Amino acid sequence: MSQPHIPVLLDEVIAALDPKPGDVIVDATFGAGGYTRAILDKGAQVHAFDRDPDAIANGAAMVAEYEDRLTLHPHRFSQMVGALADAGVAKVDGVVMDIGVSSMQLDQAERGFAFSHDGPLDMRMSQTGESAADFLNTADADRIADVLYLYGEERQSRRVARAIVAARPLETTGDLARVVRKAVGHKPHDKKDPATRSFQAVRIHVNGELDELEQGLVAAETLLGEGGRLAVVSFHSLEDRIVKRFLRDASSAPAASRHLPQVDAFVPAFTRVSKAIRPSEAEIARNPRARSSVLRHAVRSAAPAREAA
C-alpha cells in the first residue's frame, strides 16, 4: 500500500520562499505538487517542471483548479531557462528544488525504484533512455563498481559489481537486491538494508541526477531576480555537498593568495545563506521519509549571474 505524499519541510520551504500575490515561483521538481499547491495558496504564480510524464499528467487537475496561475513544463529542471524564455519569462522571484526520487515513483513497483515491492529493474524518471537493467546487464564490472562507489559510497563496490556480472541477466528489483545482499552479507536484524546504497547509486547514474542538480543550480542563479529566493531540499550527503559548495562559492570570495595576481573585488551572487535546516522529530514521526532531508536557502543579489558575467 502506498503512503500518502507529504511534502518534506513544507513550512520551512514556504517561509524561505515567502511567496506573495504577483510573485512568479519555479517549482523545479513538481512531483505530486505539494510545494506548488502551498505556493499557489499564497497567491503566487507557479511554473512547475518534471521530466516524469506521469507527474505532468497527474497535475492536470491542479492546473484546472488554479486556472491561469499554474503552468506545467514536461522538462528537466536544468532546462528551465530556455523553457521559461519560450513562455515569456526572463526573471522569477523564487526557485524551489526537492532533489531525488519522489514518493510516487518509490511507491509504484512497476517503476523499479525500490526493492520493497518486486518490479522491473527500470528506475528511469523520464521513462525514456537507458534503464537500470540495460546498464547493469551490459556494463563491465569496473564501470559498475565505479558507479556503486561514487554514487552509493559502497565500500564493497568491487565485490558487488563482480556478483552482478556473474548473476546476469538481472530483470527485477528483487534480482538486484538479492545479489547485493548476498555479496556484502545481510543479516535480518541489520538496521539498514545493504541493497539501499546500490539502488541509490544505480538510480543516480541512470538519471544523471548529480549533473542535473549542478546545472539546475546554475539555471536558478540565472533566472532569479534581485531579492529572489532559492530553496533546495536534498536527501543524502552527495546532493547536500553540491548545494553547500554552490552556495559557498556564490556567496563568499575565494581565499586570496599573495602569489596570484590581484582580481576585481568579489561580488556575491547570493546572500543570507542559511545553515542546514533539518526536520523536527515531530515531522519525522509524521513522515519517516523526511528523516534524511536537509534544506538550504539563500537570497539572490543584484550581481550578474556568474555564468553570464
Q: pLDDT > 70: what percent of the chain?
A: 90
Q: Residue 2 pLDDT > 50, yes or no?
A: no
Report CA 109 to chain centroid distance, whole Å.
20
- 45-49, 115-119, 185-189, 303-307: which has the highest mean pLDDT? 45-49
Q: What is the pLDDT of residue 3?
A: 47
Note the pLDDT tens digit of each residue in 131-161. Answer: 999 999 999 999 999 999 999 999 999 999 9
Mark out the alpha helices in the chain (DSSP H runs): 10-17, 34-40, 53-58, 60-65, 80-86, 103-107, 132-138, 141-152, 157-167, 173-184, 195-207, 209-223, 237-251, 281-286
Q: Where are the domain boundaries for CATH 1.10.150.170 in the chain?
A: 113-207
Whether residue 309 is predicted with pLDDT greater than 50 in this model: the reply is no
* Parts of the chain belonging to CATH 3.40.50.150: 10-104+209-300
Look at residue 103 in the predicted model and tell me its pLDDT. Answer: 60
β-bridge mates for residue 231, sequence order: 96, 297
CATH number assigned to the domain covering 10-104+209-300:
3.40.50.150
Q: What was the pLDDT predicted at 260?
A: 58
Answer yes or no: is pLDDT of 1 > 70.
Answer: no
State how far the Cα of 281 lies from the Cα of 287, in Å rounded to an integer.
Answer: 10
For 198-252, the pLDDT digits (tens) are 999 999 999 999 999 999 999 999 999 999 999 999 999 999 999 999 999 999 9
Model pLDDT, residue 117: 78
Give the other-Cβ count within 10 Å of 126's Cβ. Answer: 14
Q: What angle separates helix 141-152 from helix 195-207, to the nearest 10 degrees?
A: 100
Instruction: Provide the whole-model pTM.
Output: 0.91
Using one digit for the tens of pLDDT, what is the confidence trace for 75-91? 999 999 999 999 999 99
pLDDT at 91 (0 to 100): 98
pLDDT of residue 264: 65
pLDDT tens digits along 41-57: 999 999 999 999 999 99
Mean pLDDT value of segment 46-70 = 95
Whether the pLDDT of residue 308 is over 70: the answer is: no
Pairing of strands 294-300, 224-234: antiparallel
pLDDT at 233: 97
**For residues 185 and 112, what is the distance between their CA atoms, to the nearest angstrom?**
23
Q: Greater confidence, 289 or 63?
A: 63
pLDDT digits (tens, 9 = 90+) for 165-186: 999 999 999 999 999 999 998 7
CATH 1.10.150.170 corresponds to the domain 113-207: yes
- With a cut of 70, say whether residue 104 has pLDDT above it: no
